[in-house]
Amino acid sequence: MNYISINSSQNVDIQFTSANLFQRILAFFIDNVIISLYLYFILHFGSDFLEKINVFSNSKNEIILLFVLCLPAIFYTLIFESFFSGQTLGKFVMKIKVIKIDGFQANFMDYLIRWMFRLIDIFALSGMIAIFSILVSKKNQRLGEIASGTATISLKQNYNLKDTILTDLEQDYKPVFTQVVLLSDNDMRIIKENFLIAKKNKNNQTLVNLSEKLQEVLKLENPYKTHSEFIATIIKDYNYYTQYN
At 169 the three-state DSSP class reads coil
Are 149 and 102 spatial neighbours (Cβ–Cβ below 8 Å)?
A: yes
Other Cβ atoms within 10 Å of 129 Cβ, number = 17
Tens of pLDDT, residues 40-95: 888 777 666 666 655 555 567 667 877 888 999 999 999 999 999 899 999 999 99
Query: What is the C-alpha to C-alpha distance for residues 42 and 35, in angstroms, rounded to an integer?
Result: 11
Q: What are the pLDDT digits (tens) for 118-170?
A: 999 999 888 999 999 999 998 899 999 999 999 999 887 555 545 566 777 88
Question: Residue 105 gets which letter from DSSP?
Answer: P
**47-81 burial code (b ≥16 CB/10 A, e <16):** beebeeeeeeeeeeebeeeeeebbeebeebbbbbb
Q: Given pLDDT bands bounded at 50, 70 and 90, which one contains residue 10?
A: very low
Query: What global pTM score does this model have?
Result: 0.65
Res 114 pLDDT > 60: yes
DSSP classification of residue 3: E
